[in-house]
Amino acid sequence: MVKVDPRHTSQTCSRCGHQARQNRRSQSLFLCRVCGFSVHADVNASRNIAEKHLASLGTSLAGGPPSDGLLSPSSDEGQALALQAQGL
Ligand SMILES: [Zn+2]
């Protein structure tokens, strides 16, 4: 399993991914030095942990559920349509 280091999650921007000790302005405030993202430090760390956990499962907060192919026609349907087009 993926081990999440809480020290790094508390120093990593959950918006742009920049990691620096300076991002952690105080016990309760996170402020990214790169993109200026400001949020409660615990909220930022929680987002990073959730993102890493979901990434280990093969998905992400931004991506949604992985496609299982139901939205595209099956190969059998495509073959049937091809046969109909040929008059068979
Ligand atoms: Zn940032």
- Return the closest-CA partner of residue 60 out of 6, 1, 10, 14: 14
CA–centroid distance, 52 to ligand 1, in Å, is: 16
Q: Which residue has the higher pLDDT, 31 or 60?
A: 31
**pLDDT reported for residue 58:** 84
* The pLDDT of residue 4 is above 60: no
CA–centroid distance, 40 to ligand 1, in Å, is: 13
In the chain, how many H helices and how many E strands?
A: 3, 2
How many angstroms separate the most distant Cα atoms in the chain?
A: 74
**Model confidence at 29, in pLDDT bands (50, 70, 90)?**
very high
Residues 36-70 have pLDDT tens digits of: 999 999 999 999 999 989 989 986 555 555 555 45
CA–centroid distance, 65 to ligand 1, in Å, is: 26
* The 3-state secondary structure of 43-65, one letter per residue: HHHHHHHHHHHHHHCCCCCCCCC
**pLDDT reported for residue 26:** 95
